């Protein structure tokens, strides 16, 4: 007989998601640093790197957008974590009230317990609805990051083309393109992990 794998509580999954988002923001900040270095090299290269300047602007915008959306997702994930804890407490409360009710014979007392159970169950249902709404927002924000990271493939390719025209600055510009490519790959991996965690939250 195959045992069903027990899913971790939503607040644990949300906390793990927050960790991945922190790494995503850290990577985006490194990308911004690479952009700053690229602008410095492009300024020294002058006309030889004219085509590189709009590329650095695009990369900087992508990194800033990634930080922006990752921050928003992190806030949502923390809300899910807090709400999940409250939902677990409400469920536990309803179960405790139900257990206590079984021990009572007084109609007035059982009626009062009924009211408590109804309140706890209603609160849990409300919080579950809030979590579902947040999950939808999480997916949309992650899609925004994914769209921007996808554009990095074209940017890196264009960067290398422009670097080839920069003469003695080609090596520096290529190394910057390499760092952007590496960062984009790391962001993509974090996005994949975040999607898995969001799926787990949706299934809880």
Closest CA to 17 of 153, 196, 176, 159: 196
Q: What percent of the chain has pLDDT over 90?
A: 2
d(CA 38, CA 157): 15
pTM of the model: 0.73
28 pLDDT more than 60: yes
Contacts of 43 (CB under 8 A, 6+ apart): none
Question: In the prediction, which pLDDT does 189 show?
Answer: 92
Residue 158 is encoded by which pair of tokens? 């264009």
Task: Give the DSSP letter of residue 151.
Answer: T
76 pLDDT more than 50: yes
Task: Give the DSSP letter of residue 106.
Answer: -
Q: Which of 10-19, 35-44, 122-131, 185-194 has the highest mean pLDDT?
A: 185-194
d(CA 143, CA 153): 17
**Which range has the worst mean pLDDT, 42-46, 69-73, 121-125?**
121-125
pLDDT tens digits for range 144-164: 888 888 888 888 888 888 888
Please work out, in degrees rounded to the nearest 5, the angle formed at the alpha carbon of residue 45 by the alpha carbons of 170 and 67.
80
Contact 152, 31 (CB under 8 A): no
d(CA 2, CA 50): 63
Overall average pLDDT of the 61-80 stretch: 84
Q: Which of 16-20, 51-55, 76-80, 88-92 has the highest mean pLDDT?
A: 16-20
Question: In the prediction, which pLDDT does 106 show?
Answer: 60
Stronger pLDDT, 68 or 83, i.e. the higher one: 68
Q: What is the dihedral of CA 67, 175, 173, 70, to 10 degrees?
A: -10
Question: In the prediction, which pLDDT does 107 show?
Answer: 61
pLDDT band at 1; cut points 50, 70, 90: very low
Overall average pLDDT of the 98-104 stretch: 70
């Amino acid at each position: 007989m195959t045992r069903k794998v027990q899913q971790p509580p939503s607040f644990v999954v949300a906390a793990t998601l927050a960790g991945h988002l922190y790494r995503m923001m850290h990577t985006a900040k490194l990308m911004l640093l690479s952009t700053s270095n690229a602008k410095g090299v492009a300024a020294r290269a002058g006309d030889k790197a004219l085509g590189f300047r709009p590329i650095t602007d695009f990369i900087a915008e992508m990194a800033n957008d990634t930080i922006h959306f990752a921050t928003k997702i992190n806030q949502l994930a923390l809300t899910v974590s807090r709400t999940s804890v409250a939902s677990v407490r409400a469920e536990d409360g309803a179960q405790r009230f139900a257990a206590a009710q079984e021990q009572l014979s007084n109609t007035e007392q059982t009626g009062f317990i009924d009211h408590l159970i109804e309140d706890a169950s209603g609160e849990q249902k409300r919080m579950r609805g809030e979590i579902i709404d947040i999950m939808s927002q999480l997916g949309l924000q992650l899609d925004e990051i994914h769209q921007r990271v996808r554009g990095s493939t074209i940017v890196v390719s264009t960067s290398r083309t422009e670097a080839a025209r920069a003469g003695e600055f080609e090596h520096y510009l290529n190394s910057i393109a390499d760092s952007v490519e590496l960062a984009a790959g790391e962001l993509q991996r974090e996005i994949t992990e975040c999607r898995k965690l969001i799926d787990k939250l949706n299934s809880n």
